Structure 1
């Protein structure tokens, strides 16, 4: 494994292991999505995630990471990221719920996130989910050799803000490999006065837009983990782990179901 400006460059074998780690994450998220409905507690999804990790023979990546107590980040409505699953939090018709899941497979990390509607949601909530997901793919399209990191950032920001939504600044994407969070950080906005890191073959990036209906400013709740929008308006979150190759970006965490939707 080589380094470029502090960023680990993966070889084909390492990318293969990352692909398998992320394939498992995608499969777990597929299972979680099948259970999203009104009346289900968010702890049910934690239990499912734990059971799926055992089934696939992998370790939950988040549990114990800097003291995080769960396998799954489960964030509802105004919760942006790092929400705690709970037996007391019951999904209601019209909610939106974000799942952020990671695993460790043979020493390599997988990481991906999706936001789901719970039953029938408002037009605003549906549009937020759609635009956030679209912004992720706009960013991925720019993850090409010859571009810089901030080409990804600019594509995400442009798509989100054109739709009238906000881009969270406090949390960003990241490199991924033998560690969950590696260099470089990948903001979903373009920082002023800073050059973007050139994209090179072998980089693997976890790109993850977090998008809000109102302000992009967030607060951390008393559990010291759950981030919520300061104005308590809705937030959505999508994430894919992506390998940079000479032939373009490869989405490592794309499930078969999602690949079929994109192909259709």
Structure 2
């Protein structure tokens, strides 16, 4: 619906359109006329929605902090899952992965050669030298937040330690590439260049994604790319950046038995870090980390 200048803005700010998103919409229209891909309004979060996502992230960040304090050698991945589940529920949240498309647990725990979507189990025990990704997604009052962290168990060899550190720096470089009115491809280019300069490969099939009102929204955030291409990044967009970096080939496969666990095809190590990002008028805000 076309708004007049003095109508209330579509973003529900309570302001007149001319004092809120009129100039913003005109800029988007001009970019679209020039052939750029621009986000639709449903990808631009309102102030109320952003605040809801922030509150969800308080729980998500808290449970990852709790895991950071407790994860150790000899612990089962099911114990990690139980810790996360109980913390989330006791704080009024809902674990978003539990029963999502049949996923049976409240978090994902991916060890060594598991790229992502590792299913917690009482039979999987953390060992000295393991590198572990714990990926948590929380719902609070209908709002979603999503983040993951890597953990190194006991004495980790230099090869594994370097992979974890380089992957964290890949995330940082991806975040630094996010600029209001920049491009989605800038993120992937920054990550790909840094990973490959260190001799690593970037998983293609999985990437970041819009988040906030659902667990997965548009746009897909590839961790490979070309600068100046892809969707325009505008204030109000919320999405994850979550590079999955392999020590060997970027080829992967999904376990046929559980339909979820993703492994490196060559059995090489894999690491991942994830933040939920808000694009602001003058930069970015890391909402979940």
Q: TM-score range by the shorter chain?
A: over 0.9
Equivalence for 1:244 = 279
Tell me how far 1:12 sits from its aligned partner: 1.6
Can you give the 5+ residue segments of structure 2 that lack an aligned partner in the other structure?
1-9, 12-37
Task: Say which of 49, 71, 96 aligns to 1:61.
Answer: 96
Q: Which runs of 4+ in 1 moved over 3 A?
A: none
Shift of 1:11: 1.4
- Structure with the bigger RCO (C-alpha within 8 Å, sep 6+) is 1
2:244 to 203, 207, 210: 210
Give the drift of 1:104: 0.4
Contact 2:130 2:156 in 1 (8 A): yes
CA-atom RMSD, angstroms? 1.7
- Mapping of residues 1-264 of structure 1, within 5 Å: 4-5=39-40, 8-190=43-225, 195-221=229-255, 222-254=257-289
Q: Report if the CA contact (8 A) 1:169-1:188 is conserved.
A: yes
Change (3 A) 1:6 1:232: farther
Give the distance between the partners of 1:137 and 1:6, measured in 2 at CA.
28
Partners of 2:154 and 2:70 in 1: CA distance: 11
What is the CA distance between 1:142 and its match in structure 2?
A: 1.3
* TM-score when normalising by structure 2: 0.84
Matches of 1:228 and 1:92 in 2, distance apart? 18
1:5 shift after superposition: 3.7
TM-score scaled by length of structure 1 = 0.92
